[in-house]
Protein backbone atom coordinates (compact mmCIF):
# COMPACT_ATOMS: atom_id res chain seq x y z
CA UNK A 1 0.00 0.00 0.00
CA UNK A 2 1.11 3.52 -0.72
CA UNK A 3 1.88 5.85 2.16
CA UNK A 4 2.59 9.53 1.97
CA UNK A 5 4.43 11.47 4.64
CA UNK A 6 4.85 15.17 5.06
CA UNK A 7 7.20 17.12 7.29
CA UNK A 8 7.07 19.07 9.44
CA UNK A 9 3.59 18.66 10.86
CA UNK A 10 3.46 22.35 11.71
CA UNK A 11 5.70 25.39 11.45
CA UNK A 12 5.64 28.88 12.89
CA UNK A 13 7.97 31.15 10.95
CA UNK A 14 8.79 34.83 10.72
CA UNK A 15 8.09 36.95 7.65
CA UNK A 16 11.18 37.01 5.47
CA UNK A 17 12.56 33.72 6.73
CA UNK A 18 13.17 30.70 4.47
CA UNK A 19 10.93 27.65 4.32
CA UNK A 20 11.29 24.06 3.25
CA UNK A 21 8.44 21.55 3.37
CA UNK A 22 8.91 17.93 2.42
CA UNK A 23 6.82 15.10 1.08
CA UNK A 24 7.76 11.46 0.63
CA UNK A 25 5.71 8.70 -0.90
CA UNK A 26 6.41 5.03 -0.38
CA UNK A 27 5.01 2.06 -2.24
CA UNK A 28 4.55 3.77 -5.57
CA UNK A 29 7.16 4.06 -8.27
CA UNK A 30 7.31 7.12 -10.50
CA UNK A 31 4.30 8.79 -8.92
CA UNK A 32 2.71 11.97 -10.20
CA UNK A 33 3.07 14.32 -7.23
CA UNK A 34 1.27 17.54 -6.39
CA UNK A 35 1.50 20.40 -3.91
CA UNK A 36 -1.70 22.08 -2.74
CA UNK A 37 -2.30 25.06 -0.51
CA UNK A 38 -5.35 26.00 1.46
CA UNK A 39 -5.58 29.44 3.01
CA UNK A 40 -7.65 29.66 6.16
CA UNK A 41 -11.27 29.62 5.04
CA UNK A 42 -10.24 29.08 1.41
CA UNK A 43 -10.37 26.26 -1.06
CA UNK A 44 -7.60 23.92 -2.11
CA UNK A 45 -5.35 25.36 -4.79
CA UNK A 46 -2.94 23.29 -6.77
CA UNK A 47 0.53 24.89 -6.69
CA UNK A 48 2.88 22.50 -8.46
CA UNK A 49 2.93 19.09 -10.02
CA UNK A 50 5.70 16.74 -11.04
CA UNK A 51 5.60 13.60 -13.15
CA UNK A 52 9.24 12.65 -12.86
CA UNK A 53 12.53 13.37 -11.09
CA UNK A 54 13.89 16.80 -11.87
CA UNK A 55 10.70 18.01 -13.53
CA UNK A 56 8.27 20.42 -11.87
CA UNK A 57 5.48 22.49 -13.38
CA UNK A 58 4.09 25.55 -11.66
CA UNK A 59 0.32 25.99 -11.65
CA UNK A 60 -0.11 29.02 -9.40
CA UNK A 61 2.49 31.68 -8.70
CA UNK A 62 2.77 32.36 -4.99
CA UNK A 63 6.50 33.18 -4.68
CA UNK A 64 7.15 29.54 -3.89
CA UNK A 65 9.24 26.95 -5.67
CA UNK A 66 9.24 23.18 -5.77
CA UNK A 67 11.75 20.50 -6.60
CA UNK A 68 11.70 16.75 -7.19
CA UNK A 69 15.17 15.57 -6.14
CA UNK A 70 14.22 11.89 -5.94
CA UNK A 71 11.50 9.71 -7.39
CA UNK A 72 9.74 9.51 -4.02
CA UNK A 73 10.39 13.05 -2.77
CA UNK A 74 8.80 16.44 -3.46
CA UNK A 75 10.03 19.61 -1.77
CA UNK A 76 8.28 22.99 -1.47
CA UNK A 77 10.38 25.99 -0.55
CA UNK A 78 10.90 29.71 -0.55
CA UNK A 79 13.76 31.96 0.49
CA UNK A 80 11.48 34.65 1.89
CA UNK A 81 8.14 33.95 3.53
CA UNK A 82 5.22 36.35 3.25
CA UNK A 83 2.29 36.66 5.62
CA UNK A 84 0.10 35.42 2.79
CA UNK A 85 1.92 32.07 2.78
CA UNK A 86 0.16 31.01 5.95
CA UNK A 87 -2.16 28.07 5.53
CA UNK A 88 -2.31 24.35 5.13
CA UNK A 89 0.01 22.65 2.64
CA UNK A 90 -0.86 19.27 1.25
CA UNK A 91 1.11 16.89 -0.88
CA UNK A 92 -0.77 14.39 -3.03
CA UNK A 93 -0.17 11.63 -5.52
CA UNK A 94 -2.35 10.63 -8.42
CA UNK A 95 -3.58 7.27 -9.64
CA UNK A 96 -4.10 6.31 -13.26
CA UNK A 97 -7.79 6.95 -12.72
CA UNK A 98 -7.03 10.58 -11.81
CA UNK A 99 -7.91 10.18 -8.14
CA UNK A 100 -5.61 12.05 -5.85
CA UNK A 101 -4.59 10.87 -2.41
CA UNK A 102 -3.40 13.43 0.09
CA UNK A 103 -0.76 13.40 2.77
CA UNK A 104 -1.46 14.54 6.33
CA UNK A 105 -0.47 18.14 5.57
CA UNK A 106 1.69 20.83 7.14
CA UNK A 107 0.15 23.76 8.98
CA UNK A 108 2.21 26.91 8.37
CA UNK A 109 1.80 30.09 10.38
CA UNK A 110 3.77 33.13 9.25
CA UNK A 111 4.06 35.94 11.81
Does 104 participate in binding another protein (rule CB under 8 A)?
A: yes
Does 24 participate in binding another protein (rule CB under 8 A)?
A: no
Does 101 participate in binding another protein (rule CB under 8 A)?
A: yes
Does 65 participate in binding another protein (rule CB under 8 A)?
A: no
Does 14 participate in binding another protein (rule CB under 8 A)?
A: no
Residue of 23, 28, 31, 34 that binds another protein (CB under 8 A)? 34
Residue of 14, 29, 40, 43 that binds another protein (CB under 8 A)? 43
Does 87 participate in binding another protein (rule CB under 8 A)?
A: no
Sign of the alpha-carbon torsion through 76, 77, 82, 86? positive
Q: Where are the beta strands (DSSP E) in the chain?
A: 3-7, 10-13, 19-26, 32-38, 44-52, 55-58, 65-70, 73-78, 87-94, 100-102, 106-110
How far apart, in Å, are the Cα atoms of 3 and each of 17, 27, 28, 45, 97?
A: 30, 7, 8, 22, 18
Report the interface residues with another protein, using CB under 8 A.
34, 42-46, 49, 57, 59, 90, 97-105
Amino acid sequence: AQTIHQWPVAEIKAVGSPLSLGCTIKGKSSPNLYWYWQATGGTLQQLFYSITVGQVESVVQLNLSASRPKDDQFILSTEKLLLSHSGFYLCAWRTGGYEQYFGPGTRLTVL
